[in-house]
Amino acid sequence: MKLEVSMATPTRRQFTGAFKSEAVRLARESGRPVAQVARELGIGDNLLCRWRSEQRHVESQGQTRQAMRAEQDELTRLKRENELLRKERDFLKRAAALFAREWKF
């Protein structure tokens, strides 16, 4: 009999915005410690603390969580694009300098 071991990577759990909001509300209103609420929900207490701080930040900015996430995603995309454009610019500068040296008489 051969025992086969699978090294499948565990999938990362994803939570909906509604679940996150409800978890934060429960932690706020229940009067119980965050660690206890997190255990009851089957999540890590650090995760619930992070959701709480995100919720506070979102509320102080007057945005929704989705709008804030979209803004962060757009900023990340623009930073990547900016880095790519810098690399292209630097390459073209070096190429222009190389061609200028070759064409000198």
pLDDT at 7: 63
Q: What is the pLDDT along the chain (105 residues), one digit of tens a residue?
A: 555 555 667 788 899 888 998 999 999 999 899 999 999 999 999 999 999 998 888 888 887 778 888 999 999 999 999 999 999 999 999 999 998 888 775
Residues 58, 65 contacting (CB under 8 angstroms): yes
For residue 18, how far is the Cα from the chain centroid? 18
Cα(66)–Cα(68) distance, rounded to whole angstroms?
A: 5
pTM for the whole thing?
0.57
In whole angstroms, how large is the CA radius of gyration of the chain?
25
